[in-house]
Amino acid sequence: MNLGAGMGSFAVLLLALGIAIAAGLSLAVGGTHVSVRDVAWIAGTPESSPAEVDVYSRYLQRHRRHRMAGGLLGALFAVILGGRWYGSITIGVGQQNPLADVLFCGLGGVLVGAFSAESFRLSEPASTTVSASLAEHAGASRPDVIRAARGICLASLVGGGLVAATGHGLVPLWIAIGGLIATLVAEATQAAITGRRRPVLSDRAQAVDLRMRSFASTSVARLELAVAVLTAAWTVSKVPGAGTGPFLLVQDLTVIAGFVITLVLLHRASPRPPRKWSSELS
């Protein structure tokens, strides 16, 4: 979806400024507000102690703030780059480059934001004794989704490589490499989630920690799959020599399906409970 072809520098600047102001306002006016329902969703129970509610609230707020800031910065990057250098801004797969795609860059920004949100160190209680459990750390919550993302990312790379090897241009390969970088950010975030220091203060503290890790791991796995699918759609869209006939149809269908799947995954990866979710259901 091309939003504006042949935009002038002033229009780009105006649009970028508009996005920056909207971002600042949404961050300031409660886009990251955490409600009782949100806490019940991440805790898996409506009954949490005030201390637990505080921990969940701060964690969710941090995730939302970092992801929103990352996503908006990514979108801003795409708007400026698309408007200034490619002459058009795209949402989803388009004629230009993924770097001018608000969805691709926004998704990349959300991933970097999630990585930033997970890059914290659990403060150690003031004590001369340090404790740790010898039980294994819980692994990623959705290994199947992560495997699928890796597979799609690899397929994009192989496809891009084949196109380059057969002398049909390097664009698909470069797109696949861009997707690989985003996937690596997601993998680093997963490693940060599963490898972070665990509290051993009490069973409740461990349960809260496990809930937060499970939420983050599932969410990041879906983001990873979303970026892999969008990369694959972009890669397929740039395979040249489609001409007409069945290949063109497959190419178009793949691009549309990739776009829809990306939006669904992005929505499901959101750090918010689904609209129909109620604490009685959990």
Partner 1 sequence: MIVHLDTRSPVPLFEQLRAQIERLIASGQLRPGTKLPPIRHLATDLGLARATVNKVYDALARDGLVETAGRHGTIVLDGSGVTTTATDLSAAADTLVVIAHQLGLDPTAAHRALDEALRRL
Contacts to partner 1 by CB under 8 A:
124, 128-137, 195-198, 200
Taking each helix axis from N to C end, the angle separating 171-195 and 203-237, rounded to the nearest 10 degrees, works out to 180
Give whichever of 33 and 197 is closer to partner 1, judged by the CB atom. Answer: 197
Q: How far is CA 186 from CA 6, 20, 50, 101, 113, in A?
A: 34, 25, 32, 19, 10
In angstroms, give the least distance from the CB of 192 to partner 1.
Answer: 10
Give whichever of 132 and 281 is closer to partner 1, judged by the CB atom. Answer: 132
String of DSSP letters for 40-105: HHHHTSS---HHHHHHHHHHHHHHHHHHHHHHHHHHHHHHHHIIIIIS--BSSS-SS-GGGBHHHH
In angstroms, give the least distance from the CB of 124 to partner 1.
Answer: 7
101 forms beta bridges with 90
In angstroms, give the least distance from the CB of 195 to partner 1.
Answer: 6
Give whichever of 61 and 194 is closer to partner 1, judged by the CB atom. Answer: 194
CA atoms within 13 A on the CB side of 119: 13
In angstroms, give the least distance from the CB of 222 to partner 1.
Answer: 24
In angstroms, give the least distance from the CB of 214 to partner 1.
Answer: 17
Residue the block writes with tokens 């970088």: 181
Q: CA–CA separation, 86 vs 104, rounded Å?
A: 15
In angstroms, give the least distance from the CB of 190 to partner 1.
Answer: 14
Give whichever of 29 and 135 is closer to partner 1, judged by the CB atom. Answer: 135
14 C-beta neighbours (distance < 10 Å), count: 13
Give whichever of 28 and 132 is closer to partner 1, judged by the CB atom. Answer: 132
Give whichever of 156 and 217 is closer to partner 1, judged by the CB atom. Answer: 217
Q: CA–CA separation, 73 vs 70, rounded Å?
A: 5
